[in-house]
Amino acid sequence: MMKLDGVAAFVTVAEAGSITAAAQRMGLAKSVVSERLAELERLVGTRLVQRTTRKLSLTEGGIAFLERGRRLLREAEEAVAELAERRSELVGPLRISGPVSFGVLHLGPAIFSFLATNPKIELALELEDRFIDAAADGYDAVIRHGPIHDTRLVARHIASSRRVLVASPAYLDAYGRPGTLIELRQHRAILYMNRDSDWRFHSESGAVVVRAQPAVRVNNGLMMRDAALAGLGITLLPTFVVHEQVARGDLQIVDVGIAAEGAEVHVAHPRDRAASVKVRALTEHLRQSFGNPPYWETAVAQASPMS
């Protein structure tokens, strides 16, 4: 008889790309994952995974079985969740991905309080600044800020956040405070490496792109904030990254007379399956934890305006 732990091992190996990565994701020994995969292959009577010294790939049979395996696991989880819901409980695995800066500053504390009241949830929270393909990588949901263009996802808004230009008082004293986009182009910029380096603003006639003078390029919002604190230039960041520093006056908002592209925060799940009870409960918990308006926007709004 086919065992779900064998199916889970196969699906995780296929999504993770290796037995080692799958074992890390599942919290099991590599040998256990290998044994479960081998047992499943014996039961179905065909090899599902082609193993070589350099890489792992799915066989034709493995490709055919993968979506069925995912469906089996989803149905089993949904059955358990449905029974638990009848008992007013949230139980079982929940795999979430989120951006590093938002995860460290806000998502972690909110999720930890969620787990404290739902101790039977088995959370796997992975923080990544690279693009995550939630539909293909096996996540129950992903947290994202900014627009979501992937039509395979269903997004639910959980909090608002603006993007603002900020710089340290020392930098502005040394280099001056730009008041227009033309002046902004002449300043030293701390830029995000993983996306287009352009800064995007919204005017009545549409989007406006600004290309400033790059001083530092990094792939993490916290590092960008710290570079600005060090006086290395002006940077464009969500308010949820810089709210405390702006409130203290360590960073000042630079107003160039036009609003930057926003950074709305969403929970998104694959369209091909309904959001689980756990995802819906987490979404509502995050909304309540962040507030409306969220506490980071309140902190920025209460800061004394600088001129």
> Residues 26-80: pLDDT tens digits?
888 989 999 999 998 888 888 999 876 667 888 988 898 888 888 888 778 777 7
Distance CA 105, CA 79 (A): 34
What does the pLDDT look like over 16-27, one tens digit per residue?
888 888 888 888
The topology (CATH level 3) of 163-262 is D-Maltodextrin-Binding Protein; domain 2 (3.40.190)
Looking at per-residue confidence, does 145 or 244 come out higher? 244
Per-residue pLDDT, averaged over 102-121, amounts to: 93
pTM strictly above 0.95? no
Residue type, 165: L
Q: Which of 85-94, 113-122, 213-222, 253-262 has the lowest mean pLDDT?
A: 85-94
3-state SS, residue 100: helix
CATH of the domain spanning 90-158+264-292, picked from 3.40.190.10, 3.30.70.100, 3.40.50.300, 3.90.550.10: 3.40.190.10
Looking at per-residue confidence, does 277 or 290 come out higher? 290
CA-wise closest residue to 124 among 136, 101, 142: 142
The owner of tokens 């360590």 is 250
Q: Parallel, antiparallel, or unpaired: how do β-strands 121-127 and 153-159 relate?
A: unpaired
Domain boundaries, given as residue ranges, for the chain: 4-73, 90-158+264-292, 163-262
What is the model's pLDDT at position 82?
67
b/e burial code for range 107-125 (CB count within 10 A of at least 16 → b): beebbeebbeebeebebeb
**Would you place residue 154 in the very low, low, confident or very high pLDDT band (cuts 50, 70, 90)?**
confident
HSE (CB half, 13 Å, CA atoms) of 161? 26
Q: Which of 26-30, 111-115, 131-135, 288-292 has the lowest mean pLDDT?
A: 131-135
Distance CA 286, CA 283 (A): 5
For the record, the structure tokens of 244 come out as 């405390």
What does the pLDDT look like over 164-220, one tens digit per residue?
999 999 999 999 999 999 999 999 999 998 666 678 898 777 788 888 889 999 989
Residue 34 backbone dihedrals phi, psi, to 5 degrees = -60, -45
What is the model's pLDDT at position 146?
79
What is the model's pLDDT at position 152?
80
SS (H, E, C) 142-183: EEEECCCCCCCEEEEEEECCCEEEEECHHHHHHHCCCCCHHH
Residue type, 288: Q
What is the model's pLDDT at position 307?
41
Per-residue pLDDT, averaged over 128-136, amounts to: 73
The second-level CATH assignment, the architecture, of 4-73 is: Orthogonal Bundle (1.10)
Q: Cite the DSSP H helix spans in the chain.
A: 4-16, 19-26, 30-44, 60-86, 100-102, 108-117, 134-137, 169-175, 181-184, 221-229, 239-248, 277-290, 295-302
Looking at per-residue confidence, does 273 or 179 come out higher? 179
**Would you place residue 304 in the very low, low, confident or very high pLDDT band (cuts 50, 70, 90)?**
low
Per-residue pLDDT, averaged over 79-93, amounts to: 71
Q: Fold identical between 4-73 and 90-158+264-292?
A: no
Handedness of CA 168, 170, 171, 172 (dihedral sign): positive
